[in-house]
């Protein structure tokens, strides 16, 4: 069932979730992201560690790469199916992204308090669909997951 | 004149510096990086914001991407011509890189104290060649530099 944001299914978050599902189907780490501004979807992206042999291609990073160069991110919202790691949190702070919508922080806590402390508006959805995707992957490929978060 | 590390010109740092010089020649942000382990150069990379329209391709990130997937980074040293930003510092922490050699922190302070506080061994070279490259670029293209560090 879609997540409701302000009482409506959020199409941007659903776009991020579709990226995560596509990642799982490809044998990759199932984390997806979307960047939006003023009601417009700017880009989506997904974790491509497995698919592209690219360790920095976390979902959020792929999405930011796909969005291309921007003068500023002040009005953007970043949607991600999983709580951002230190690298992705650093990117959020570097580029001054002020709004982050997070699918879940159950299977990986990330740095949500740090982001909030630094002035980022964080919305945590606790979407069971995201938890299910990550749990499935972590059970199937614990070694890839450990590698992706530097714990191998 | 090459920087001396342990009394010897450091070939890995020189490789990072060549990447930065190549970046400048291409019209890009002149920051380069190298990743080495056990006396072996694993990868080099440079900032590709301008060349590839890629905002996440800072020097350190390009280098980590070029190194491909690794189980662990514990024995690696990351060389970078400029003090790492929050995104790149986050990547260093995420992947557990324990040694970072930094060309300069004059034209951009970065987060060296935070990295040290988190257990990273930081060597700051204060290499005037790196300062010169960045000063040249910042004077020529202040708007691109501001964009690269999220201050546009």
Answer whether B97's CB lies under 8 Å from B73's CB: yes
Among B70, B85, B149, the residue with its CB nearest the CB of A55 is B70
The pTM for the full model equals 0.95
Confidence of residue A152 (pLDDT cuts 50, 70, 90): confident
pLDDT of residue A1: 54
Strands (E), B7-114: 8-9, 32-37, 40-46, 76-82, 99-104
Q: Shortest CA distance to A108 belongs to which of A60, A50, A53?
A: A60
Supply A131's token pair: 């938890």
pLDDT of residue B75: 95
The distance between the two most distant Cα atoms of chain B, rounded to a whole number of Å, is 41
Query: B60 an active-site residue?
Result: yes
Instruction: Determine the Cα–Cα distance for residues B14 and A26; give it in Å rounded to an integer.
Output: 39
Q: At a CB cut-off of 8 Å and minimum separation 6, what does B145 contact? A: B29, B137, B138
CA distance B74 to chain A (A): 9
User: In chain B, what residues touch A56 (CB-CB under 8 Å)?
Assistant: 56, 61, 64-65, 91
Mean pLDDT, rounded, for A84-113: 97
Residue with tokens 């508006």: A121
Q: Which residue of A has its CA nearest to B110?
A: A94
CA distance B112 to chain A (A): 14
pLDDT of residue B55: 98
Answer whether A45's CB lies under 8 Å from A52's CB: no
Instruction: Determine the Cα–Cα distance for residues A32 and A127; give it in Å rounded to an integer.
Output: 13
Q: Do A90 and B95 count as a contact with CB atoms less than 8 A apart?
A: no
DSSP for B24-47 reads HHTTS---EEEEEETTEEEEEEE-
Instruction: Determine the Cα–Cα distance for residues A131 and B142; give it in Å rounded to an integer.
Output: 43
Among A53, A70, A86, the residue with its CB nearest the CB of B90 is A86
pLDDT of residue A3: 57
Supply A32's token pair: 């997806």
Q: Do B86 and A90 count as a contact with CB atoms less than 8 A apart?
A: yes
Which segments of chain B have a pLDDT < 50? none
pLDDT of residue B1: 54
Answer whether B80's CB lies under 8 Å from B32's CB: yes
CA distance B7 to chain A (A): 33
Instruction: Determine the Cα–Cα distance for residues B3 and B130; give it in Å rounded to an integer.
Output: 11
Residue with tokens 């557990």: B96
For A56, the 3-state DSSP assignment is coil
Q: Do B53 and A64 count as a contact with CB atoms less than 8 A apart?
A: no
Report how far Cα A101 is from the mean position of its chain's Cα atoms: 8
* ipTM of this complex prediction, to 2 decimal places: 0.94
Among B61, B69, B93, the residue with its CB nearest the CB of A53 is B69
**Exactly one of A21, A26, A40, A60 is catalytic; which is it?**
A60
Supply A5's token pair: 């944001």
* B73 shares contact with chain A (CB less than 8 Å): yes
For A34, the 3-state DSSP assignment is strand
CA distance A68 to chain B (A): 5
Q: Shortest CA distance to A30 belongs to which of A99, A125, A108?
A: A108
């Amino acid at each position: 069932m879609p997540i409701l944001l302000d009482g409506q299914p959020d199409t941007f978050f659903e776009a991020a979730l579709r990226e995560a599902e596509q990642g799982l189907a490809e044998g990759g780490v199932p984390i997806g992201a979307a960047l939006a501004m003023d009601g417009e979807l700017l880009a989506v992206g997904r974790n491509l560690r497995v698919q592209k042999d690219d360790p920095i291609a976390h979902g959020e990073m792929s999405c930011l790469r796909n969005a291309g160069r921007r003068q500023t991110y002040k009005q953007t919202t970043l949607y991600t199916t999983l709580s951002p790691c230190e690298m992705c949190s650093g990117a959020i702070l570097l580029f001054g992204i002020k709004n982050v919508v997070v699918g879940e922080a159950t299977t990986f806590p990330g740095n949500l308090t740090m982001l909030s402390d630094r002035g980022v508006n964080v919305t945590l959805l606790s979407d069971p669909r995201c938890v299910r995707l990550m749990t499935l992957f972590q059970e199937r490929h614990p070694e890839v997951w450990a590698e992706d978060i530097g714990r191998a």
